[in-house]
């Protein structure tokens, strides 16, 4: 699973990595200047308050950018999108269906208790419990058992080979919490009252609902390389984009991810701080939420994509920062694929260049003229509004009768979790990122029966290719199966890819040290922030 949401802004350039951007208007940055000194505290804006910081439900930008500094996983997803050991000091794969994790010794939770294999087993098993209702249950669908196999060793046995399982141990699915805390807090776990008790460089401090959440430096942290340089971080919930930008400019907050795109020019020349762009795995897509309506005909979906002025969306909606997407994933998630496969992929990708006249003819063949489609939107930022208007115009251009249904942010979020909320909605916008460096993180979301296959799309050959990729560890064969799934998805278009754009982050003049990357959702980025000299 990856995620979502309604608002603004992330994604990596589709065909370029660090230093390789084809858009002269912006540059990607690996690392901001190193801090010159520790810092007592800094404040950070966040566009929405999490409903919970329980790792089992952490699948979106707001909870993950907080939890990445508090709770740790068995493995770690690094800013360069590689994976390395973390709470598991090592791991091995003695058979295709067995993963053995050596648990790092002498690691302590924030309450001072010592990390054990029992904590790991308990934390992972929560995803298997239907009563928990983990958002990451799909990541464990091939898990047969999770057991302690030594004093500091845990063995996971799979029903069949699964090439994504170990990779996902670097994201929320691999998070480790104190077993005692889970038992003690019960339903309060992850709430403003109960908080969390993990092993990260910051501990949960306090949560003032509707206002802010405070993290405090954990002096007992095990990893000196990622020990926090600041004594405290205060996350301030600022849902209004204009208010966030004003807070940056005035110094009311020291920084924030997901900078509103319509402020890029303003903040790019600001004297209050600096705007950076970094690696991303996100693609802005229109999700087809109803395949029983006019968009159930593949010709109409293709026509609609050809009629959308995606270059215009990048310019007007994304601040000119980003590129038209030819795929549902960014190029950098193919890093593990052989060069020949990647080259063939680009040459063999179904493409839909902007061609309103051809699109209109195609839609006419489908006989959908005058039929109503409903496009959901949310007023969180101008980017969402501009994109939705452009999609509605494209629908109108091919003869459909579009209606925009503007939903409050909290109701819009339910489109991703509640089938009833999607009733009557034909299209809705998402900024979908992958949580691992593998296209499968996207394409498993579109398998028949997946909870994230919102429109109920089904293609037997696609499912077969995805399952083949899941079951294949060998890089070349894995990539080939992934590529086959991608070709089918882009031919059928259950989702319409719009554009990519880099991660954005603003740092006020007081702070520096963060590494701009989508890995901020799982990597302890706040620990690297200190004082700017």
pLDDT grade, residue 347 (50/70/90)?
confident
- pLDDT score recorded for residue 20: 34
pLDDT grade, residue 25 (50/70/90)?
low
**In this predicted model, what pLDDT tens digit does every residue of 223-244 receive, in sequence order?**
999 999 999 999 999 989 999 9
Four-residue CA torsion sign, 383, 384, 387, 388 = negative
Distance CA(480)–CA(176), nearest Å, equals: 34
- pLDDT score recorded for residue 4: 40
More confident residue, 359 or 16: 359
- Among 95-99, 194-198, 230-234, 341-345, which stretch is predicted with the lowest mean pLDDT? 341-345
* Best CA proximity match to 500, nearest among 276, 312, 285, 356: 285
Distance CA(185)–CA(183), nearest Å, equals: 6
- pLDDT score recorded for residue 340: 84
Residues contacting residue 309 through CB under 8 Å, at least 6 positions apart: 354, 390, 393, 394
Q: Give the three-class secondary structure for 270.
A: coil
Q: Give the three-class secondary structure for 341.
A: helix
Cβ atoms of 508 and 14 within 8 Å: the answer is no
Query: What length does the chain have?
Result: 533
User: Within 10 A of 148 (CB to CB), how many other CB atoms are there?
Assistant: 16
**In this predicted model, what pLDDT tens digit does every residue of 109-123 receive, in sequence order?**
999 999 999 999 999
Averaged pLDDT for residues 484-498: 97
- Among 280-289, 352-361, 401-410, 454-463, which stretch is predicted with the lowest mean pLDDT? 401-410
């Amino acid at each position: 699973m990856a995620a979502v949401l309604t608002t603004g802004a992330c994604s990596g350039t589709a065909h370029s990595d660090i230093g390789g951007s084809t858009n002269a208007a912006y540059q990607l940055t690996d690392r901001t200047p190193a801090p010159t000194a520790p810092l007592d505290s800094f404040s950070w804006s966040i566009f929405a308050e999490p409903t919970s910081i329980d790792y089992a439900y952490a699948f979106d930008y707001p909870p993950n950018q907080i939890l990445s500094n508090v709770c740790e996983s068995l493995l770690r997803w690094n800013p360069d999108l590689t994976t390395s050991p973390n709470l598991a000091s090592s791991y091995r794969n003695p058979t295709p269906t067995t993963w053995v994790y050596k648990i790092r010794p002498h690691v302590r939770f924030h309450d001072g208790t010592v990390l054990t294999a029992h904590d790991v087993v308990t934390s992972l098993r929560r995803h298997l419990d239907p009563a928990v209702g983990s958002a990451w249950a799909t990541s464990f669908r091939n898990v047969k058992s999770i057991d302690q196999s030594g004093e500091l060793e845990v063995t996971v046995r799979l029903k069949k080979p699964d090439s994504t399982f170990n990779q996902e141990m670097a994201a929320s699915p691999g998070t480790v919490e104190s077993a005692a805390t889970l038992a003690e807090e019960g339903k309060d776990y992850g709430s403003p009252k109960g908080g969390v008790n993990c092993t990260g460089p910051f501990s949960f401090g306090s949560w003032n609902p509707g206002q802010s959440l405070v993290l405090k430096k954990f002096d007992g942290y095990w990893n000196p390389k990622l020990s926090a340089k600041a004594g405290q971080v205060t996350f301030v919930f600022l849902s209004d984009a204009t208010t966030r930008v004003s807070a940056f400019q005035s110094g009311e907050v020291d920084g924030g991810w997901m900078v509103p795109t319509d402020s890029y020019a303003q903040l790019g020349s600001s004297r209050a701080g600096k705007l950076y762009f970094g690696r991303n795995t996100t693609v802005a897509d229109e999700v087809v939420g109803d395949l029983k309506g006019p968009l159930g005909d593949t010709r109409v979906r293709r026509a609609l994509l050809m009629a959308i002025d995606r270059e215009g969306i990048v310019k007007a909606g994304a601040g000119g920062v980003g590129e038209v997407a030819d795929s549902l994933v960014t190029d950098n998630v193919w890093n593990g694929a052989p060069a020949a496969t990647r080259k063939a992929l680009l040459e063999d990708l179904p493409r839909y260049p902007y061609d309103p006249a051809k699109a209109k003819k195609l839609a006419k063949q489908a006989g959908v003229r005058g039929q109503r489609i409903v496009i959901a939107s949310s007023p969180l930022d101008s980017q969402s509004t501009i994109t939705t208007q452009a999609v509605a115009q494209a629908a109108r251009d091919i003869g459909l009768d579009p209606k925009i249904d503007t939903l409050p942010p909290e109701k819009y979020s339910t489109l991703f979790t509640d089938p009833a909320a999607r009733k009557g909605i034909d299209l809705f916008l998402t900024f979908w990122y992958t949580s691992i460096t593998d296209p499968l993180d996207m394409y498993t979301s579109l398998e028949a029966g997946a909870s994230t296959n919102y429109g109920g799309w089904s293609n037997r050959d696609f499912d077969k290719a995805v399952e083949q990729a899941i079951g294949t560890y060998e890089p070349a064969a894995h990539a080939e199966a992934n590529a086959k799934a991608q070709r089918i998805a882009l031919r059928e278009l259950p989702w319409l890819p719009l554009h990519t754009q880099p991660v954005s982050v603003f740092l006020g003049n007081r702070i520096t040290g963060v590494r701009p990357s989508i890995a901020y959702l799982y990597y302890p980025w706040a620990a690297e922030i200190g004082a700017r000299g």
